[in-house]
Amino acid sequence: MKLFYILFVSILIQSCSFDNKTGIWKNENSITKKENKALKDFKSISLLDQSLEKTIPIEKNYKFRLKPASNNFNWNDIYYDQSNNLKNFKYSENYELFFKSKKISRNELNKFTLFESNNIITTDYKGNLIVFSISEDKIISKYNFYKKRYKKIKKELNIIVEKNIIYISDNLGFLYSYNYKTNKILWAKKYEVAFTSNLKIFKNKIITTNQNNYLFYFDKYSGEILTTIPTEETVIKNNFKNNLSQNGNLTFYINTFGSLYAINNDTMNLVWFLNLNKSIDINPSNLFNGNQIVVNKNHLVISSNQNTHIINQKTGRILYKKNFASNPNIRPIILNDHLFTITKKNFLTAVNLKTGKTIYSYNLNSRIAEYLKIKKKEAGFKDLMIINDQIMIFLQNSFIILLKINGEIEYVRKLPTYIKTSPMVIDKSLIFLDKKNKITILD
């Protein structure tokens, strides 16, 4: 036993403190007692869970052409920009704790945050709209629109910000705008049916949808309806939320039935549509389930239940259909005609959008185990970004994996605090809220 203990310690040191209980795997019991509550009931990957996906190694001389990483200063849309597509961000990669606020809310926070003019904007499920100033290190605005009769109802707020004005829709059917500099509601409307999609802005228009799969164009200055576009209404609901993306004067809309629409924002008329659902039988097993629409140049990418579709955004023609589905909780990224995504089966996959060829596909759990020289289990993946020409993957338990653009792991690292919200990269810093609802900035 003594010899075994010495050998174990030796391996532990050589592996940079990583072993089979590093805490990197999903639901794994951690060495530290503090993490035990969140990492209980581990289950190994079942050998019976066979996937159609397979490992595809990258060709030896394949070259990715990337635009240089650029600095970013605002995050006005929950999915970053109109196209829902992240860019190649500059980040310091120091991972040092630069700033931590006091707790900004006692309630559960929304997954997404915004950033404008050095202010972080977030919401909680009590309906509070919270604006925190980084430079002043305090909440500069906290507003709750809802009366006492809505007090016990969980509010799901969809937000977007433009020039100090936050536009909000919710699951109660309200749509309103709020100036966080003057702390005033500019207008508010009640439309009865719950709004379920993200918000987009085009010139003087706000664009969103409701749970009945109606697409709306509203006047940005009054909240009045400019036009309504009904699509297939479904009685049975699932967890997928309608999703909007934009490119130029086109808005792309995927509804819970799996129909994808392109609408001209100037005329508010339909340009094209197609259905990505395999079945027209509307029952819980056939309802559409995918992730965010991502657009770049002439390519539109959307995953359905089993496939990923690469579509010509001008004509609606399906260019390629890949036999994998992206993880519905992690948006794909298009970078210089290359698609990077994490699939439902936890494969990191890169596709050339011009040719439709899969450049590589690697099982992330296998890659992690090989890199750390430990037994393969299952990790929980939270988010995907491109940082300094490299791929950064956020795990659900505060670990990050940095990979070269070719899919080779550079390092695995544990961050100094747990990431609860979707992270943002602002001015070479990583910003998120932790599990104690404190704003954290890593420099």
Q: Give 99-138 pLDDT, tens digit per residue.
A: 999 999 999 999 999 999 999 999 999 999 999 999 999 9
Q: Give 369-380 pLDDT, tens digit per residue.
A: 999 999 999 999
- What is the rounded CA–CA span in Å between residue 356 and residue 338? 9
Nearest to 441, CA basis, from 118, 141, 172: 118
pLDDT at 34 over 60: no
**Cβ–Cβ under 8 Å, residues 361 and 54:** yes
pLDDT at 91 over 70: yes
Q: Which residues are CB-contacts of 77 (< 8 A; sequence separation ≥ 6)? A: 84, 114, 160, 198, 200
Task: Write out the two tokens for 29.
Answer: 């019991």
- What is the rounded CA–CA span in Å between residue 175 and residue 169? 4
- What is the rounded CA–CA span in Å between residue 251 and residue 293? 10
Mean pLDDT of 316-323: 95
- Give the lowest-confidence range in 9-23, 116-130, 180-194: 9-23
**Cβ–Cβ under 8 Å, residues 384 and 390:** no
- Band (pLDDT 50/70/90 cuts) for residue 236 is low
Q: Which residue would you say has higher pLDDT here, 14 or 244?
A: 244
Q: Which residues are CB-contacts of 360 (< 8 A; sequence separation ≥ 6)? A: 56, 57, 58, 348, 349, 350, 406, 407
pLDDT at 281 over 80: no
Q: Which residues are CB-contacts of 193 (< 8 A; sequence separation ≥ 6)? A: 173, 210, 211, 212, 214
Question: What sign for the dihedral angle of Cα 115, 119, 124, 127?
Answer: negative
C-beta contacts of 10-16 below 8 A and 24+ residues apart:
15/372, 15/373, 15/374
Q: Give 56-69 pLDDT, tens digit per residue.
A: 999 999 999 888 99
Mean pLDDT of 379-393: 96
To which H or E segment does residue 364 belong? Answer: helix 364-372
Q: What angle do CA 421, 423, 424 make, to 5 degrees?
A: 135
To which H or E segment does residue 315 belong? Answer: none
| Predicted pLDDT of residue 433 | 96
Q: Give 336-376 pLDDT, tens digit per residue.
A: 899 999 999 999 999 999 999 999 999 999 999 999 999 99
Q: Give 115-126 pLDDT, tens digit per residue.
A: 999 999 999 999
